[in-house]
């Protein structure tokens, strides 16, 4: 790495180099109309990828020195708890020179994910204690499609070592909600957990072309022989699994 990057980089528990980026778009502002701010946020979101990946590019790099290619992390590997702690730093001394233009203490985090995050256990305990002690509300808004398992879900890992056993926790101190829209998505990569039954009578004909009386669910002998393909749907109690 070039000399100007070495102090910025950190190493995660998998041995990968990473750097957290933060951008303050607006601070200590009170507006009756947030339309201009939304336009500014949209512009920042659109150019976020290029700004981050090209942040360390310089024209005066030494000869033969190249910056390794970088990629943005997924939402699950993002700096979720770090962002919460930054907002808690502001709320920690809210009683000093407090402005009465606004009341209450609330942190709202918007993520493109589904509410699953890979986090450090020690940082989770610190964040939880600070939120409870300061009485700060934490709302998590997920733009991704709601999964079939319970969320929010924190996947723990050690700070410096990689463990083979996954440990999870469901934080009760985070309020979760999913963004919903009336517009239908043109595509969806959602994969259901339970497989649907086979086609009616094993036929792929349109419903108009089927003879009367074929509206029932019938399994052909060929489909009945493939018990191993669908038997896992009835072996597990998914209600207990989600709990």
Instruction: Tell me what pLDDT residue 177 has.
Output: 92
pLDDT exceeds 50 at position 53: yes
At residue 241 the predicted structure's pLDDT band, cuts being 50, 70 and 90, is: very low
- Contacts of 228 by beta carbon, 8 Å cutoff, 6+ apart: none
Q: Give CA separation, 36 vs 40, 42, 43, in Å.
A: 6, 10, 11
pLDDT above 70 as % of the chain? 69
Token pair listed for 217: 């669910």
Q: What is the pLDDT of residues 108-118, one digit of tens each?
A: 999 999 999 99
Domain ranges, ordered by start, for the chain? 1-72, 74-184, 200-242
The pLDDT of residue 28 is above 90: no
**Whole-structure pTM value:** 0.66
**pLDDT digits over 174-229, tens only?**
999 998 776 666 666 666 656 666 665 555 555 555 555 444 555 455 544 444 44
Q: Which residue has the higher pLDDT, 34 or 98?
A: 34
Q: Where are the strands (E) in 143-220, listed by range?
A: 153-157, 167-169, 175-178
Residue carrying the six token digits 């020179």? 97
Q: Please tell me the number of Cα atoms within 13 Å of 49 on its side-chain side.
A: 5
10 Å Cβ neighbour count for 68? 7
Task: Return the pLDDT at 196.
Answer: 66
Give the model's confidence band at 231: pLDDT under 50 very low, under 70 low, under 90 confident, else very high.
very low
pLDDT band at 163 (very low <50, low <70, confident <90, very high): low
Strand 116-120's sheet: what is its strand order?
A: 116-120, 153-157, 167-169
The better pLDDT of the pair 108, 29 is held by 108
The kind and range of the H/E element at 107 are: strand 106-111
Question: In this model, does residue 146 exceed pLDDT 60?
Answer: yes
Check whether 156 has a pLDDT greater than 50: yes
Helix (H, G, I), strand (E, B) or coil at 116: strand
Residue linked to tokens 């990569």: 189
* Whole-angstrom distance, CA of residue 56 vs CA of residue 2: 9
């Amino acid at each position: 790495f070039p000399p100007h990057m070495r102090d910025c980089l950190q190493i995660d528990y998998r041995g990968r180099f990473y750097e957290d980026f933060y951008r303050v778009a607006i601070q200590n502002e009170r507006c009756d109309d947030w339309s201009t701010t939304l336009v500014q946020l949209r512009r920042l979101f659109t150019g976020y990828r290029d700004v981050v990946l090209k942040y360390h590019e310089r024209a005066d790099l030494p000869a033969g020195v190249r910056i390794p290619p970088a990629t943005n992390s997924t939402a699950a590997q993002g700096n979720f708890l770090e962002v919460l702690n930054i907002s808690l730093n502001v709320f920690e001394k809210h009683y000093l020179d407090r402005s009465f233009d606004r009341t209450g203490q609330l942190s709202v985090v918007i993520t493109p994910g589904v509410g699953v995050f890979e986090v450090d256990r020690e940082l989770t305990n610190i964040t939880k204690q600070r939120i409870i002690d300061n009485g700060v509300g934490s709302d998590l808004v997920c733009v991704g499609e709601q999964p079939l398992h319970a969320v929010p879900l924190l996947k723990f890992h050690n700070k410096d070592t990689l463990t083979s056993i996954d440990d999870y926790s469901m934080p009760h101190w985070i309020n979760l909600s999913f963004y919903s829209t009336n517009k239908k998505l043109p595509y969806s990569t959602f994969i259901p957990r339970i497989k649907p039954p086979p086609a009616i009578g094993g036929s792929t004909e349109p419903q108009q072309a089927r003879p009367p009386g074929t509206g029932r669910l019938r399994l052909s002998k060929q489909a009945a022989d493939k018990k191993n393909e669908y038997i896992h749907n009835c072996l597990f109690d998914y209600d207990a699994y989600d709990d």
